[in-house]
Structure 1
Amino acid sequence: MTSPSFPATPAPRPGGAGELAGRTVSRVGYGAMQLERLHGDRRAAVALLRHAVELGVDHVDTAQFYGDGFVNEVIREALTPEDDVLVVSKVGAVSDPGGPFPLRLAQRPEDLRTSVEDNLATLGLEQIPVVNLRRTDSGITIPVPDDQIVGLDDQLAEMIALRDEGKIGAIGLSSVTADILRRALPAGIVCVQNAYSLVARDDEDALRLCEAEQIAWVPYFPLGGALPGLAKVADEPAVLAAAERLGCTPAQVGLAWLLHHSPRTLLIPGTADTGHLEANLAVGAITLDDQTLATLDAVPTRPFQTLDGLKS
């Protein structure tokens, strides 16, 4: 690991204080998937992540299948124990560079264990603080082969065993319905990552359950439009009008709305660009008045579409 590099004084928490796995964290963290775009410039990837930490980021979302291990290796190089950054990874899929999709599902208990071991190796950790079980119940997913239809109870039993062994610190869920979340609550779920944005609010019931159970809600695709055919938050007239009035970007309005919409929301916007990183971390300072919130709340939600073999 690199030598520690600290700012003179601690940076303010981007977005204010939130909670994840029993820890106080900044409400705006960093989703590391986009670091894969810097595969040809590892030094730039490390520098970007260091800059995020210097600006107050203290939780980072990753996965072994991001860049087939490259992103985890960048995190290992960039972060030090003294940074005290909470690393969140996920299992349930693996890289498949030569396949019809960049990923393939790996849902069986033995696959989950192997994925945890792979994450531990590339991250250089003895324990991953939080690991999300990425299922296929909600949002968009790649096709599910018959041998990858696995019962929740079997998966949770393996995740609990991994936690008991000390290989993971806490269990989260991803791409799940409210019913699945409710079934999983006895396992001690600490966060839920679902595809969710101003224009894709199908999982509002899951969000409300997270609020009731004091579970962190961590939306991915927070601005929509991550895949062709999906509605984009930045295309909405109400968002464009709010951005012009507030003197910020439409993307910042979309992220600020998420923070305002629920106190349990933690953001993990990803980027490979320093300017975009700084803009994302600044959204906590954007105040949305009641009229603006009401106008944004009235934007219709669109169900996910079936896209090139991806299913809703």
Structure 2
Amino acid sequence: MPPVWQQAATLSLSCLAGRQAAAMTFLLGSDLTINRLGFGAMRLPTGTFQGPVRDPATGIAVLRRAVELGVNHIDTAGFYLRGEVRANDLIRRALAPYPEELVIATKVGPLLGPDGMPSEEAAPEQLRGLVEGNLRDLGVDRLDLVYLRVGGMSGPGGVSIADRFAALAELREEGLIRHLGVSNMDAAQLAEARAIAPVAAVQNAFHVHDRGDAAVLAACEEAGIGFAPFFPLGGGFRPIDATRLEKVAARHGATTAQIALAWLLAISPVTLAIAGTGSLAHLEENMRADRISLTPDDLADLG
């Protein structure tokens, strides 16, 4: 059977609306219930990796407001930083002691190169140090979800990830990690990881105008694995053409960003939208996306 995102255009309006209303949460790793509309922390220190540093006070305000608006899934990484402003530090300062229901996901694997970009990769023996750094910076004894991010600044595929994922699996057995994920991986690499230890979530590039990882999404849907696209609003190297979303946005009285997020929530029950921002106004806008129920006509117009 094709994945839900390929079937959605054929669903009746009542069926689609009912499915969306009932599925705004996801059971991560069989024991953590999270809202599918979460928050990505990458843009808290800076708008881009090369951009100017942002005011830490604004980042703290954004994080606190996100939780007030219902976010209980925050995605971060130790390499989300600019100068002295670090996303993990802001999360701890804003939210610790953490609400019991809050799930914090982080990524390890990338190392910052001389230019400050996460363009280098850690060896298996370096991953413990990266995990311990996240534990220390976030102020926790165990990380809820740790993704192994591979591939540097390039796309997924082409190399074995077994040694690195096995190193993280050992840390999970020690109790430092609750659940494991993989990021920037193709279907073969996902299968390789799953043969070593359970995979709770995948984080790959994917959005309304970048559907190249459809095979990975299909594998996640079949296995009940969360699929959390990075750059869900088209940042990075694959922008969204907002003009192609305007018709549907006008139909709902919404912004194109809200439609892009609503599309992710509509196409599969396992997709997790983790839009990031350093702006309170953009946060408020993004968090209204889960109120939009896209119809089959909307999905057809979005392609």
TM-score tier by shorter-chain length is: 0.7 to 0.9
Distance 1:253 1:67 in 2: 29
**Alpha-carbon separation, structure 2, partners of 1:76 and 1:214:** 30
Task: Quote how far apart the aligned CAs of 1:223 are.
Answer: 2.2
1:246 partner amino acid: H
Q: Map 1:265-280 onto structure 2 (within 5 A).
A: 265-280=271-286
Kept in 2, the 8 Å contact 1:53–1:83? The answer is no
Report if the CA contact (8 A) 1:31-1:60 is conserved.
yes
Letter in 2 for 1:89: T
What residue in structure 1 maps to residue 111 of structure 2?
Answer: 94
Matches within 5 A, 1:217-236: 217-227=227-237, 230-236=238-244
Show CA shifts across 1:86-107 (max 9, x none): 11000111233x32x5223223
Q: Distance in 2 between matches of 1:248 and 1:213?
A: 33
Q: CA deviation at 1:59?
A: 0.8
Instruction: Note if contact 2:44-2:54 (Cα within 8 Å) is conserved in structure 1.
Output: no
- Aligned-residue Cα RMSD (Å) equals 2.2
Hey, what does 1:307 align to over in structure 2? none
Query: In structure 2, do the counterparts of structure 1 residues 150 and 120 end up closer, same or farther at CA, with 3 Å as the change threshold?
Result: farther
- Tell me the secondary structure at the aligned position of residue 88 of structure 1: strand
Whether 1:75 aligns to 2:84 is: no
Percent identity between the two aligned chains: 38
Q: 1:118 to 1:193 in 2, by over 3 A?
A: same
Matched, 1:54 2:68: yes
User: Match of 1:141?
Assistant: 153
Q: Is the 8 A contact 2:208 2:264 kept in 1?
A: yes
* Letter aligned with residue 176 of structure 1: M
- The CA distance in 1 between the partners of 2:242 and 2:107, in whole Å, is 28
Contact 2:107 2:149 in 1 (8 A): yes
Asked if the contact 1:225/1:233 (under 8 Å) is kept, the reply is no
Q: Are 1:199 and 2:215 matched, yes or no?
A: no
Residue 16 of structure 1 is matched in structure 2 by 24
Q: 1:66 maps to which residue? A: 80
Task: Tell me the CA shift for residue 109 of structure 1.
Answer: 0.5
Displacement of 1:183:
2.0
Residue 35 and residue 72 in structure 1: after superposition, are their counterparts in 2 closer, same or farther (change >3 A)? Answer: same
Indicate how the Cα distance of structure 1 residues 103 and 255 shifts in structure 2: closer, same or farther if over 3 A, else same.
same
Contact 1:33 1:62 in 2 (8 A): yes
- 1:128-156 Cα shifts (integer Å, max 9, x gaps): 111000012xxx82599xxxx97322112
State the Cα distance separating 1:41 from its structure 2 match. Answer: 2.2
Q: Please tell me the residue identity of whatever aligns with 1:242.
A: V
- Aligned equivalents of 1:63, 1:280: Cα separation in 2: 21
2:120 corresponds to? 105
Report deviation, 1:49: 0.3
How many aligned residue pairs are there? 271
> Secondary structure in 1 aligned to 2:297?
helix
Post-superposition offset of 1:225: 4.3
CA distance in 1 between counterparts of 2:241 and 2:267 reads 15
User: Of 162, 165, 178, which residue of structure 2 is paired with 1:169?
Assistant: 178
Q: Show CA shifts across 1:137-186 (max 9, x none).
A: xxx82599xxxx97322112101111011111111000011111122223
Q: Of the two structures, which has the highest relative contact order with CA contacts closer than 8 Å and spacing of 6 or more? A: 2
**Contact residue 64 and residue 119 of structure 1 kept, 8 A:** yes
- Take 1:208 and 1:28, find their aligned partners in 2: how far apart are those partners? 20
2:17 equivalent in structure 1:
none
Residue 193 of structure 2 contacts residue 199 of structure 2 at CA under 8 Å; is this kept in 1? Answer: yes
Alignment partner, residue 8 of structure 1: none
Relative distance call for 1:112 and 1:260 in structure 2 (3 A) is: same
2:134 corresponds to which letter in structure 1?
N
1:114 Cα offset (Å) = 1.6
> TM-score of the superposition, structure 1-length normalised?
0.81
Structure 2 Cα separation of the partners of residues 42 and 266 of structure 1? 26
Q: Give the Cα–Cα distance (whole angstroms) in 1 for the partners of residues 76 and 143 of structure 2.
A: 11
How much has 1:16 moved relative to structure 2? 2.3
Question: Matched residues in 2 for 1:225 and 1:48: separation?
Answer: 19
Matches within 5 A, 1:238-277: 239-277=245-283
Q: TM-score, normalised by structure 2?
A: 0.84
Instruction: Give distance in 2, aligned partners of 1:156 and 1:143.
Output: 18
Query: Post-superposition shift, 1:117?
Result: 1.4
